């Protein structure tokens, strides 16, 4: 899948989510949501590494899947932030992460 296609899918999904739950997808929402998703990713890492309460522990393959889901949420909401701020994220990543430091 091309990055532009992924961006479009993320924005379409976020737009549908906003309509379904009557939430305005503005820059404030997107920024706070990014913090929420980073927190969920951190929680998933803690659970995956069994650095959480034992009742939260699950099989490694399950916790690994949750890690992937939450990291995907972080990237998805980063894409939403970029869209709302008028940033071409593909170009920004390409410029910022050009390697050879």
Applying CB under 5 A, the residues found at the interface with Mg ion are 37, 40, 70, 73
Residue labelled with tokens 């699950």: 58
Of 17, 12, 66, 77, give the one whose Cα is nearest residue 43.
66
Q: How far is the CB of 13 from Mg ion (least distance, A)?
A: 13
Shortest Cβ 91–Mg ion spacing (Å): 26
54 DSSP 8-state letter = G
Give min distance, CB of 25 to Mg ion, in A. Answer: 16
- Residue placing its CB nearer to Mg ion in the complex, 40 or 90: 40
Residue nearest to Mg ion (CB): 73
Rank residues 71 and 89 by Cβ distance to Mg ion and give the closer one.
71
Distance CA 30, CA 32 (A): 6
Long-range contacts at 89-94 (CB < 8 A, ≥ 24 apart):
89/3, 89/7, 90/3, 90/4, 90/7
Give the residue with the Cβ less far from Mg ion, 7 or 73: 73
Cβ proximity to Mg ion, 70 vs 78, nearer residue = 70
């Amino acid at each position: 899948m091309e990055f532009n296609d992924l961006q479009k899918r993320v924005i379409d999904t976020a737009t549908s989510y906003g309509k379904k739950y009557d939430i305005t997808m503005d820059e404030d929402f997107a920024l706070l949501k990014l913090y929420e998703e980073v927190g969920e990713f951190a929680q998933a890492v803690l659970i995956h590494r069994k650095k959480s309460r034992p009742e939260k522990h699950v099989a490694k393959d399950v916790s690994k899947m949750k890690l992937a889901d939450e990291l995907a949420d972080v990237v998805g909401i980063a894409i939403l932030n970029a869209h709302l701020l008028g940033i071409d994220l593909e170009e920004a990543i390409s410029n910022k992460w050009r390697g050879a430091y």
